[in-house]
């Protein structure tokens, strides 16, 4: 160990001591938990409603077939009880939970259409949800919290900064992320940066894997992530400090329907990494990997919802460890405003401005550059939903249309770059009780038309479901289409990169899906298995030609695999989760190799134990080997990450959380040459005012 | 009769035992095995193909992660493959078909060309650093870089000297002017005494060379891959002067391989396989006359005079390239698959152990 590394070691040790001391020395704030129970009824028929999604503060549950529900071990205080069911108006109330006193609350739901995002999350095709509480135990932001969850792989290239999700072997620009109903995918790159969303601002994330462009629009060619933010923030603040000088803070508050939040973060930099064998092995320090990002949001909940968000980031662009670029810097800024009205007649609109800059005055090789681009985009959506019933089926039908326009200028794109996209959607979702079983059926078709697309492109999806007591089956067949991302269509040609004027849209051809979920009846355990198989024609990937000139290029690929998930809650304060996913995404040629940087196998397991004022969590995540090329050679090694967390309620409204990320100091590289920090310590303080 | 036969058998057996017992225990070694080596760029592998049994080919993963290795040099049972932007050189044991070691090169080396000068040392060109590095491929040791010309892409060894092909490419990787050769004395690991720089005619981007049967160096100045015209320089390695320069190869000629006598073969993506005759100093098959091998990225010739015209293929999507085997009349006699994007080839004889 060199002397130069001593301060870092002292700092790490001190952080660990402080972390342990805070967690161990604080006195517990003992409060007797209470119980909240009740029943959910239909306002018109007064019949009990089963399957209603319920949330009580950070707790989640579902009403039974007879409409009854109960929450045990509720922390005393003022909390919001919410109820949602497809075909009914959302319902909520604030209740005061008194220590040691049980509460009974009866809920009456009024029939009403529901907005599209709720339909997406609950339709027959089925989404998989994770609550905000669980997310906060998995990571401070969604990039960390969702990595490894239900087969989601977050592609990251450093300590922080842009981190986009991959699902079912799709690319990072093939997962649509909706934040309160609005897409947050970058209009240029198509990628959604999950690192900008704080876990504590999130009420729930729902993953709908598979081709979902018919339901949700372009980019959802591999899956859809629906992020619902919290609108019940008491004034609260969080601050954290971690290894390698990572720091951050977050403020949030709700007042009536208005919720505001502010955040700022400085990334880890100058962290050690393992030098690959090809470079001689050993260890070195990753330079120019740091940066900072700031975000602000203001949202208004209600029948007309408003969303105003802004973000700014500056970061180093360190290059690969083999060819580092110590002087390269990047920055981007964006402002977004969106408004959405729900009801029988839905409408929504949004406007976004963004700018991005990348510069390197002294690159080790090639020309120096200073590339600045900016653009503006807008969307308009209009939809109508109508309750319908036939032959015992109840549900709703809907029709909608959306248009989108983007215009960009600057050094990174061709002059006069503009792109327009219009779509028309027809859908219906129905369910039908049959004895103790419930059948569900959803169908949606969509026509898409965009700049230079020629004729409209049609896609279709059918979902069917059957649920009885502890067992549920789902099946689906669908197609999908999405245009290439704008950066692939309109980037400015340069040394070694060339536009592809023949670039075609990506199309999913009749992908088949089937799933089963079984409540096991012991330890509140459940297991689910989902399988899928299909083709993606013209997947867009960057590749060199025989002259080593790189272009975005279309490739036909086959996509098949599955996900297996196990959950158990043997004790009220103990949760166990495990999942395994297999995604074979291969070039559609004889003996075609796995597509670059798409791990075939991922495993994850987590344990959350929260006895009283303490909570402890352990998370293990394994990412299988990835190929850096289309030939399926020289695979990058698989890696496993083990994270530990310990949280303690120090006083009313004040909690401290310590984390050790990558306990075994793996220093993983998802992408060759872009290592992530190894073992890191984090201490977070959370203050929630009464 | 039976006894007579039995005695005869015994005599035969005795004779056989005597013959075997007195046989030379140092039997002659088998012939060296001649193999075609092809560097598959985007796959980052080395194909080892026995020329008599191409069906026994193997692909050796080189351990790099970038699609940038383009050249290979070999001697005996060992090959050296610079790994381009991985800034390393892979040393491959051709008998065991595996990487013996990875030799780290200086950061941002971008190593492409190499040459093996004896049974332990090789030189590797670092085009991004305008230097070459001498490596001991048996131990992995490297010595201090030697400055050469601008953008050295390839190296060739003849007459006891190392000739470095300076491509003279600018920051946008376009030819900035004519190329030249830098002459290095491997004994001193420094520029050779006397003439240490040989100017070449043409538009630059010299990246391929071979020594022909006449002992002269034939250097291809490719110029721009996309426009202009390549020129073949003939260099006397003793006088260290360019003695002639020939055009007629169209746009983007690349690899050069000697057929042993007076034949020089030239590969070209645009033109296919072309030929130059060193006796008559004439382009035998030039622009618009090449053997139509698609995406012809490289060429090599074996000891039987068979010509291997390499088709790189599209270099993506997992689609493999192939080698077209031509007889001395340049008629295709067979073909066999290589890896994805074969870009550099050579033929070497592997002596038995």
> Distance, in angstroms, between A628 CA and closest chain B CA?
6
H and E: helices and strands count for chain A: 6, 38
Q: Are A132 and A142 in contact (CB under 8 A)?
A: no
B28, pLDDT greater than 70: yes
Phi, psi for residue A98 in degrees, rounded to 5: -95, 140
Residue A607's beta-bridge partner residues? A576, A618
Instruction: Read off the pLDDT of residues A38-86 as tens digits, 9 standing for 90 and up.
Output: 888 876 556 677 778 888 877 778 777 677 888 877 777 777 888 887 6
Confidence of residue B24 (pLDDT cuts 50, 70, 90): low
> Distance, in angstroms, between B268 CA and closest chain A CA?
11
Whole-angstrom Cα distance, residue A405 to residue A573?
A: 49
Phi, psi for residue B226 in degrees, rounded to 5: -110, -15
A28, pLDDT greater than 90: no
Confidence of residue B15 (pLDDT cuts 50, 70, 90): low
* A chain contacts of residue B82, beta-carbon cutoff 8 Å: none
Within 10 A of A517 (CB to CB), how many other CB atoms are there? 20
| Dihedral angle over CA of A359, A360, A361, A367, nearest 10 | -110
CB-hemisphere CA count at 13 Å for B208? 29
What local confidence, expressed as pLDDT, does residue B231 receive?
A: 97
Average pLDDT for chain A: 87
Whole-angstrom Cα distance, residue A554 to residue B229?
A: 32
Instruction: Read off the pLDDT of residues A199-241 as tens digits, 9 standing for 90 and up.
Output: 999 989 999 999 999 988 889 999 999 999 998 888 999 999 9
> Hey, are the CB atoms on B318 and A546 less than 8 Å from each other?
no
What local confidence, expressed as pLDDT, does residue A414 receive?
A: 87
Centroid of chain to Cα B250: 23
What local confidence, expressed as pLDDT, does residue A288 receive?
A: 93
A6, pLDDT greater than 60: no
Instruction: Read off the pLDDT of residues A99-111 as tens digits, 9 standing for 90 and up.
Output: 667 778 888 887 6
> Distance, in angstroms, between B130 CA and closest chain A CA?
11
A413, pLDDT greater than 70: yes
What local confidence, expressed as pLDDT, does residue B227 receive?
A: 85
Selecting from A279, A323, A593 the residue whose C-beta is nearest the C-beta of B318 gives: A593
What local confidence, expressed as pLDDT, does residue B13 receive?
A: 58
Q: What is the mean pLDDT of residues A398-407?
A: 95
Q: Of A376, A374, A383, A197, give the one whose Cα is nearest residue A299.
A: A197
Residue A605's beta-bridge partner residues? A578, A620
Pick A613 or B40 by higher pLDDT.
B40
Q: What is the mean pLDDT of residues B278-307?
A: 96
Distances A126 to A204, A467, A476 between C-alpha atoms, Å: 15, 12, 10
* Threshold 0.95, pTM exceeds: no
> Distance, in angstroms, between B60 CA and closest chain A CA?
9
A–B CB contacts, 8 A cutoff, strictly below: 123
Q: Of B126, B27, B31, B135, give the one whose Cα is nearest residue B78.
A: B135
The two tokens of residue B280 are: 């008559």
A126, pLDDT greater than 70: no
Distances B189 to A27, B123, B144, B326 between C-alpha atoms, Å: 72, 10, 9, 40
A119, pLDDT greater than 60: no
Percent of chain B with pLDDT over 90: 85
Q: What is the SS3 assignment for B97? A: coil
What local confidence, expressed as pLDDT, does residue A118 receive?
A: 33
Selecting from B44, B107, B316 the residue whose C-beta is nearest the C-beta of A634 gives: B44
> Hey, are the CB atoms on B172 and A367 less than 8 Å from each other?
yes
Confidence of residue A153 (pLDDT cuts 50, 70, 90): very high
Pick A484 or B172 by higher pLDDT.
A484
Q: What is the DSSP string of A648-684?
A: EEEETTEEEEEEEESTT----BSSTT-BPP-SEEEEE
What local confidence, expressed as pLDDT, does residue A65 receive?
A: 65
Query: Residues of A105-115 as b/e, b for ≥16 C-beta within 10 angstroms?
Result: bebebeeebbb
Whether ipTM > 0.90 holds is no
Q: What is the mean pLDDT of residues A296-318?
A: 93
Q: What is the DSSP string of B115-163?
A: EE-SSSEEEEEETTTTEEEEEETTT--B---EE-SSSEEEEEEETTEEE
Whole-angstrom Cα distance, residue B123 to residue B109?
A: 13
Whole-angstrom Cα distance, residue A478 to residue A345?
A: 27
A20, pLDDT greater than 50: no
Whole-angstrom Cα distance, residue A384 to residue A398?
A: 5
Beta strands in B137-249 (DSSP E): 146-147, 152-158, 161-166, 180-185, 190-191, 197-199, 206-211, 217-221, 231-236, 241-246
Distances A121 to A126, A226, A227, A348 between C-alpha atoms, Å: 7, 8, 10, 19
> Hey, are the CB atoms on A553 and B64 less than 8 Å from each other?
no
- Which burial class, exposed, middle or buried, applies to A4 when counting CB atoms under 10 A from its CB (0-12, 13-18, 19+)? exposed
Interface residues from chain A to B (CB-CB < 8 Å)? 277-280, 322-324, 364-367, 495-496, 543-548, 553, 555, 587, 589, 591-593, 628-634, 636, 672-673
What local confidence, expressed as pLDDT, does residue A476 receive?
A: 95
Q: What is the SS3 assignment for B321? A: coil
Q: What is the mean pLDDT of residues A530-539?
A: 96
Selecting from B65, B313, B317 the residue whose C-beta is nearest the C-beta of A634 gives: B65
Selecting from A278, A636, A672 the residue whose C-beta is nearest the C-beta of B88 gives: A278
> Distance, in angstroms, between B165 CA and closest chain A CA?
19
* B chain contacts of residue A628, beta-carbon cutoff 8 Å: 44, 65-66
Distances B280 to B233, B237, B263 between C-alpha atoms, Å: 15, 20, 10
Percent of chain A with pLDDT over 90: 61
Instruction: Read off the pLDDT of residues B67-108 as tens digits, 9 standing for 90 and up.
Output: 899 999 999 899 999 999 999 999 999 999 999 999 999 988
> Hey, are the CB atoms on A546 and B104 less than 8 Å from each other?
no
- Tokens 């400090």 correspond to A241
What local confidence, expressed as pLDDT, does residue A281 receive?
A: 87
The two beta strands, B121-126 and B241-246, are unpaired
């Amino acid at each position: 160990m060199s002397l130069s590394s001593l301060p870092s070691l002292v700092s790490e040790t001190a952080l660990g001591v402080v972390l342990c001391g805070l967690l161990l020395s604080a006195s517990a704030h003992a409060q007797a938990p209470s119980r909240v129970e009740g029943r959910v009824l239909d306002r018109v028929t007064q019949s009990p409603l089963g399957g209603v999604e319920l949330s009580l503060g950070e707790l989640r549950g579902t009403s039974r077939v007879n409409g009854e529900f109960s929450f045990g071990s509720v922390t005393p205080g003022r909390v919001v009880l919410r109820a949602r069911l497809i075909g009914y108006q959302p319902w909520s109330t604030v209740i005061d939970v008194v220590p040691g006193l049980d509460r009974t609350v009866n809920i009456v739901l009024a029939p009403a259409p529901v907005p599209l995002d709720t339909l997406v999350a609950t339709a027959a095709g089925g989404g998989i949800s994770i609550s905000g509480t669980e997310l906060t135990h998995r990571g401070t932001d969604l990039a960390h919290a969702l990595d490894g969850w239900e087969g989601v792989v977050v592609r990251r290239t450093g300590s922080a900064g842009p981190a986009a999700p991959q699902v079912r072997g799709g690319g990072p620009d093939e997962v649509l992320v909706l934040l309160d109903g609005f897409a947050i995918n970058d209009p240029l790159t198509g990628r959604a940066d999950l690192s900008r969303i704080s876990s504590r601002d999130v009420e729930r994330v729902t993953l709908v894997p598979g081709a979902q462009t018919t339901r949700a629009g372009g980019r959802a060619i591999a899956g859809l992530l629906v992020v619902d933010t919290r609108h019940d923030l008491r004034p609260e603040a969080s601050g954290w400090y971690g290894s390698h000088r990572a720091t951050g803070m977050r403020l949030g508050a709700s007042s009536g329907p208005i919720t505001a939040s502010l955040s700022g973060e400085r990334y880890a930099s100058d962290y050690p990494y393992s030098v690959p064998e090809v470079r001689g092995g050993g260890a070195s320090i990753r330079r120019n990997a740091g940066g900072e990002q700031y975000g602000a949001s203001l949202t208004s909940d209600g029948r007309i919802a408003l969303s105003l968000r802004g973000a700014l980031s500056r970061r180093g662009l360190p290059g690969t460890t083999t060819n580092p670029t110590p002087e390269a810097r990047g920055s981007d800024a964006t402002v977004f405003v969106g408004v959405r009205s729900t009801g029988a007649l839905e409408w929504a609109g949004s406007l976004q401005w963004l700018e991005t800059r990348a510069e390197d005055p002294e690159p080790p090789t090639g020309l120096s550059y200073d590339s600045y681009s900016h653009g503006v985009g807008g969307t308009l959506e209009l939809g109508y939903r109508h309750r319908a019933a036939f032959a015992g089926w109840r549900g709703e039908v809907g029709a909608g249309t959306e248009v989108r326009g983007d215009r960009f200028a600057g050094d990174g794109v061709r002059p006069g770059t503009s792109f327009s996209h219009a779509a028309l959607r027809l859908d219906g979702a129905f369910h039908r009780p049959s004895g103790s079983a419930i059948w569900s059926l959803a169908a949606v078709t969509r026509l898409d038309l965009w700049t230079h697309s020629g004729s409209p492109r049609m896609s279709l999806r059918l979902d069917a479901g059957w649920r009885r007591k502890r067992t549920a089956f789902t099946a689906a067949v669908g197609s999908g289409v999405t245009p290439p991302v704008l950066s692939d269509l309109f980037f400015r040609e340069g040394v070694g990169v060339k536009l592809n004027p023949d670039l075609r849209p990506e199309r999913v051809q009749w992908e088949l899906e089937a799933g089963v979920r079984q409540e096991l009846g012991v330890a509140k355990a459940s297991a689910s298995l989902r399988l899928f198989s299909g083709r993606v024609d013209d997947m867009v990937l960057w590749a060199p030609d025989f002259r080593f000139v790189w272009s975005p290029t279309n490739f036909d690929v086959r996509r098949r695999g599955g996900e297996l998930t196990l959950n158990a809650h043997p004790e009220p304060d103990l949760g166990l989760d495990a999942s395994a996913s297999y995604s074979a995404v291969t070039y559609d040629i004889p003996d075609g190799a796995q597509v670059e940087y798409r791990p075939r196998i991922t495993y994850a397991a987590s344990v959350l134990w929260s006895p009283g004022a303490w909570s402890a969590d352990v998370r293990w995540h394994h990412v299988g080997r990835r190929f850096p090329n289309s030939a399926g050679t020289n695979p990058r090694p698989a890696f496993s990450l083990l994270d530990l967390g310990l949280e303690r309620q120090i006083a009313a409204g004040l909690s401290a959380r310590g984390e050790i990320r990558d306990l075994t100091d793996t220093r993983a590289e998802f992408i060759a040459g872009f290592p992530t920090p190894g073992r890191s310590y984090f201490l977070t303080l959370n203050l929630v005012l009464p | 009769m039976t006894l007579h036969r039995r005695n005869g058998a015994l005599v035969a057996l005795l004779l056989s035992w005597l013959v075997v017992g007195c046989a030379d225990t140092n039997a002659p070694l088998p012939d060296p095995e001649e193999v075609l080596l092809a560097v598959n760029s985007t796959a980052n592998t080395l194909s080892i193909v026995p020329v008599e049994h191409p069906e026994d080919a193997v692909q050796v993963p080189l351990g790099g992660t970038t699609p940038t290795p383009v050249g290979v040099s070999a001697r005996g049972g060992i090959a050296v493959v610079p790994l381009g932007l991985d800034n390393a050189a892979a040393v491959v044991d051709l008998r065991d078909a595996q990487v013996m070691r990875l030799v780290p090169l200086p950061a941002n080396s971008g190593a492409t060309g190499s040459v093996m000068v004896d049974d332990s040392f090789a030189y590797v060109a670092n085009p991004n650093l305008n230097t070459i590095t001498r490596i001991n491929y048996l131990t992995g040791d490297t010595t201090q870089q030697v400055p050469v010309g601008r953008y050295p892409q390839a190296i060739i060894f003849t007459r006891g000297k190392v000739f470095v092909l300076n491509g003279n490419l600018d920051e946008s990787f376009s030819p900035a002017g004519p190329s030249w050769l830098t002459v290095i004395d491997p004994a001193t690991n420094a520029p050779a005494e006397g003439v240490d720089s040989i100017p070449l005619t043409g538009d630059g981007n010299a990246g391929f060379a071979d020594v022909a049967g006449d002992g002269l160096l034939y250097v291809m100045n490719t110029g721009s891959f996309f426009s202009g015209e390549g020129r073949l320089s003939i260099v006397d390695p003793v006088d260290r002067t360019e003695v002639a320069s020939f055009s007629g190869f169209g746009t983007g000629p690349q690899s050069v391989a000697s057929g042993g006598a007076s034949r020089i073969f030239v590969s070209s993506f645009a033109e296919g396989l072309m030929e130059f005759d060193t006796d008559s100093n004439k382009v035998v098959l030039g622009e618009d006359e090449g053997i139509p091998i698609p995406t012809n990225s490289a060429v090599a010739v074996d000891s039987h005079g068979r010509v291997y015209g390499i088709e790189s293929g599209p270099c993506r999507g997992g689609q493999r390239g192939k080698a077209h085997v031509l007889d001395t009349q340049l008629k295709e006699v067979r073909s066999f698959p290589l890896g994805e994007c074969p870009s550099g080839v050579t033929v070497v004889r592997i002596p038995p152990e």
